[in-house]
């Protein structure tokens, strides 16, 4: 091997000691002396272009041309001309012959970044280059030869793009002769603080200020954040804090201002689930929140009333089952104005000799879940709304305040339950 791992990192500014990162560099260094095509995969901002430079610098082509092309930045109508060149008069604006990148980089290396963004007709032309080393300029019929090594990179899921018909399967296998997988920043937690400190020192020298430091809580948050933008996002955050914050010691609260969603980034997420409030206005979200609170309140009140009801029923059964000797049965007397009497006015009176024992009454106590399942939350909600309206003599604003919901929600519920 012509250079050590440490030397490669220093030369190309790669910072980190993660084993996944070291493995990726090792693969790049091993494949570099060959002419095999390489497909570098990894998330956006993870540093894929640095690996194409490593491969070129360690290859036999290192003294020849190296061209990096962002395929996603070139319009579909001109990308064939950019890559393969064109003849004079091939299209409007083609006032002269033009060499393409595959002609200019003959004997060298071309890095095709975001190769998954190539149009299908361009993919066919690229496949021809990989298979036979041949291409045809736009507007020409003459076949030209080229000896170019291709290193491609993408952050797309290429197998998924193949299934959807957006990427050719044969081209994928030609490009993917040697795959190099770049780990994301969240897979290299031990490297995050090292990178932040390096960016901080560089920025301190650039703006002539003391470098940033993180307290323990801020450092923990930094290392556990998901970093969807990877190294590019980390550098951007370091720049923002360096310029905006006066204190050079960054606290947890200061750091959280620059990390979107950091406070909840480690919470469990249901895969495939969408935000239930997505698409609602702030006023609608507020109404939904109040409505949920109203439901919770109704559930708590209903549970309390069910508990009281269970005690009354159990008391009735115990009193009816405690007949001693020939003592005549005396049913449980309830006050005439009691709501409980109204609720149990149709309760069937059992025959004296078949009353359940206290043990059976206890078993009945444990079966109150059946009662809970048979009750309707909608009926309880309707009952609360009617009571609130009666209490405030039809004044909906006051009734809504009593229920803890907005007037808009109350109007909708009145219409939904057809409350007169």
CB 254 within 8 A of CB 241: yes
Q: Which residues pair with 135 in a beta bridge?
A: 144
CB 262 within 8 A of CB 224: no
Q: What are phi and psi of 109, to 5 degrees?
A: -130, 140
Say whether 143 sits in a helix, a strand or coil. strand
CATH 3.40.50.300 in the chain: give the residue spans: 5-183
Say what the pLDDT of residue 146 is: 96
Q: What are phi and psi of 111, to 5 degrees?
A: -105, 115
pTM (2 decimals)?
Answer: 0.61
Taking only the tens of pLDDT, the chain with its 420 residues reads 445 899 999 999 999 999 999 999 999 999 999 999 999 999 999 999 999 999 999 999 999 999 999 999 999 889 999 999 999 988 888 889 999 999 999 999 999 999 999 999 999 999 999 999 999 999 999 999 999 999 999 999 999 999 999 999 999 999 999 999 999 999 999 999 999 999 999 999 998 999 999 999 999 999 999 999 999 999 999 999 999 998 999 999 999 999 987 765 444 443 344 444 444 555 556 666 666 776 767 777 777 777 777 777 777 776 654 444 444 444 444 444 444 444 444 444 444 444 444 444 444 444 444 444 444 667 778 888 888 888 888 888 888 888 888 887 888 888 888 887
Give dist(CA 74, CA 118) in Å, integer: 9
CATH 1.10.8.60 in the chain: give the residue spans: 187-264
Say what the pLDDT of residue 226 is: 94
Give dist(CA 397, CA 133) in Å, integer: 78
Say what the pLDDT of residue 288 is: 66
Give dist(CA 384, CA 157) in Å, integer: 53
Give dist(CA 183, CA 362) in Å, integer: 62
Which CATH architecture does the domain made up of 5-183 adopt? 3-Layer(aba) Sandwich (3.40)
Dihedral sign, CA of 90, 93, 95, 101?
negative
Pair of tokens at residue 393: 């003599």
CATH 1.10.3210.10 matches 187-264: no
């Amino acid at each position: 091997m012509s250079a050590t791992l440490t030397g490669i990192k220093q030369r190309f500014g790669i910072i980190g000691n993660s084993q996944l990162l070291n493995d990726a560099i090792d693969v790049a260094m091993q494949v570099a002396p060959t002419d095999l095509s390489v497909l570098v995969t990894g998330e956006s901002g993870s540093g894929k272009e640095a690996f194409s430079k490593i491969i070129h610098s360690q290859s036999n082509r290192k003294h020849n041309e190296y061209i990096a092309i962002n395929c996603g930045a070139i319009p579909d109508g001109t990308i064939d001309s950019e890559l393969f060149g064109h003849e004079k008069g091939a299209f409007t604006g083609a006032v002269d012959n033009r060499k393409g990148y595959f002609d200019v980089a003959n004997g060298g290396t071309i890095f095709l970044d975001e190769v998954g963004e190539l149009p299908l007709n361009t993919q066919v032309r690229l496949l021809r280059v990989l298979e036979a080393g041949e291409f045809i300029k736009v507007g020409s019929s003459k076949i030209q030869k080229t000896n170019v090594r291709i290193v491609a990179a993408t952050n797309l899921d290429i197998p998924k793009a193949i299934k959807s018909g957006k990427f050719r399967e044969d081209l994928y296998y030609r490009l993917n002769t040697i795959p190099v997988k770049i780990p994301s920043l969240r897979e290299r937690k031990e490297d995050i603080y090292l990178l932040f400190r390096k960016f901080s020192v560089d920025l301190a020298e650039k703006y002539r200020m003391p470098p940033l430091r993180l307290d323990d809580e801020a450092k923990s948050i930094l290392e556990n954040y998901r970093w969807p933008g990877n190294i590019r996002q980390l550098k951007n955050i370091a720049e923002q804090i360096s310029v905006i914050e006066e204190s050079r010691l960054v606290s947890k609260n200061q750091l959280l201002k620059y990390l979107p969603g950091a406070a909840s980034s480690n919470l469990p997420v249901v895969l495939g689930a969408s935000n239930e409030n997505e698409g609602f206005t702030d006023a609608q979200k507020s109404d939904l929140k109040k409505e949920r609170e109203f439901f919770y309140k109704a559930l708590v009140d209903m549970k309390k009333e069910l508990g009281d009801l269970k005690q009354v029923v159990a008391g009735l059964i115990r009193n009816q089952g405690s007949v001693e000797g020939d003592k005549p049965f005396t049913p449980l007397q309830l006050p005439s104005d009691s709501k409980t009497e109204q609720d149990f006015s149709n309760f069937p009176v059992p025959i004296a000799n078949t009353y359940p024992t206290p043990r059976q009454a206890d078993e009945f106590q444990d079966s109150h879940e059946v009662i809970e399942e048979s009750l309707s939350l909608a009926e309880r909600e309707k009952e609360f709304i009617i009571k609130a309206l009666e209490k405030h003599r039809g004044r909906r604003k006051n009734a809504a305040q009593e229920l803890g919901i907005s007037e808009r929600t109350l109007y909708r519920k009145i219409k939904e339950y057809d409350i007169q």
